[in-house]
Copies of this chain bind each other. A is one copy, B any other.
Amino acid sequence: MSSNSLIEAFKATKYQLGGHGTRNVDVLKEAFEAVSSQEESDLYGTGNFIEAFENKMAAYLGKETAVFFPSGTMAQQIALRIWCDQKGINKVAYHPLSHLEIHEEDGLRKLHHIEPILLADKTRVIELDDVLNMNENIACLLLELPQREIGGQLPDYETLVSISQFCRENGIKLQLDGARLFEILPYYNKTAAQICDLFDSVYVSFYKGIGGLAGAILAGEKGFTEEAKVWKRRHGGDLISLYPYIVTADYYFDKRIHKMGQYHEDATELARLYNDCPGITTLPEVPVSNMFHVHFSHSKELIEPILLDLYEQTGIGLSGHLRVIDDQLCYFEVSIGDQYAGVPKRELEVAFRELAKRLKEI
């Protein structure tokens, strides 16, 4: 069966274990309900909507200033470009599974002529030794917290502190890919400002755990963000109106920022249920954010029909996307949002009992 039918079957279930729900127009309408029709649009980066939110996020992240961007792709390429230009070095370092390396069609090279040095291997996060042993003169090191493509893993907080200290002593700028920064704060038991203080520049996203429409914030010192605004215009991101993204980002930030601890607990509980099934392991075994990966020791061809059947029989949807690793292995990603709390515990247990039973029969 095609993966199309899995996503359809997933959407047709009564309860879905991940996410905040369908990305439909209601997400926009709910956020705009309390906004006055007379409120004026932002205008090319100025105006109340954008300036108020930039100031709010700068304060939350503990940075001097912040700039709203339509996308993280744009924000991060620009951050790296600024640091490269400042140092006169066109090399940066990041993880081999960084968003920049695998999801941006090589924009960093094709637009900015920046060469990335890939640190660590694909199975683990960047550790202090990777940075110490790097024999390259780089302008900037980018750390993604958590490392999404390996299930959302994190280095120890002490490792972050050591890497930050090394970078400062060696004139290397440190950029935080904080696409899921809010989601890891409960695990580190730190404020956003405490984490961001280790970095020179920080990007955060508003459509992962926050569940907004799209959009990103890039934060740092004023000289940095002023330059970022010029690059935003060059990239074609300085839109006459960005308020649809800003209003939704702001609304869902306020609605969900205090729920990140709950999402983490839910993820931990759910990962345990998965790990109790034969032939399933989660990565990481114990989640450090709202996300993890569910790995099957069987092929997609074997697992997909089991999931389809399970969704239909129990009304519980685990995931709409099953990704192939090779002929023998497959996995899917889980990101906990508002929906998990609405799943009755009894039905959840029934579904996992059924899943375990079917996997045992393979």
B43 touches A25 (CB 8 A): no
- Which chain B positions have C-beta within 8 A of A74? 235-237
Assembly stoichiometry (copies): 2
A41 touches B25 (CB 8 A): yes
Which of A99-107, A141-149, A182-190 sits within the interface? Answer: A99-107
B73 touches A106 (CB 8 A): no
- Is A314 an interface position by the 8 A CB rule? no
- Which A residues form the contact surface with B (CB < 8 A)? 22-29, 32, 35-41, 43, 69-75, 77, 104-107, 110-112, 207, 213-214, 230-231, 233-245
B244 touches A28 (CB 8 A): yes
Complex CA distance for A96 and B246, rounded to whole angstroms: 35
6 more A-B residue pairs beyond the given contacts A25-B39, A104-B233, with a C-beta to C-beta distance below 8 A: A24-B37, A25-B38, A25-B243, A70-B236, A111-B112, A207-B241
A237 touches B70 (CB 8 A): yes
Say whether, besides A26-B37, A37-B25, A70-B70, A214 and B234 are in contact (CB < 8 Å).
no
- Which chain B positions have C-beta within 8 A of A106? 234
- Which chain B positions have C-beta within 8 A of A36? 25
Shortest distance from the beta carbon of A142 to any chain B beta carbon, whole Å: 15
- Which chain B positions have C-beta within 8 A of A75? 236
Complex CA distance for A69 and B77, rounded to whole angstroms: 19
- Which chain B positions have C-beta within 8 A of A73? 233, 235-236, 238
- Which chain B positions have C-beta within 8 A of A27? 41
A26 touches B38 (CB 8 A): yes
Complex CA distance for A230 and B27, rounded to whole angstroms: 28
Q: Which residue of B lies closest to A76 (CB)?
A: B236
Shortest distance from the beta carbon of A172 to any chain B beta carbon, whole Å: 24
Those 9 A-B pairs whose CB atoms lie nearest each other, nearest first: A74-B236, A107-B234, A244-B244, A73-B236, A26-B37, A23-B41, A71-B236, A214-B239, A105-B233
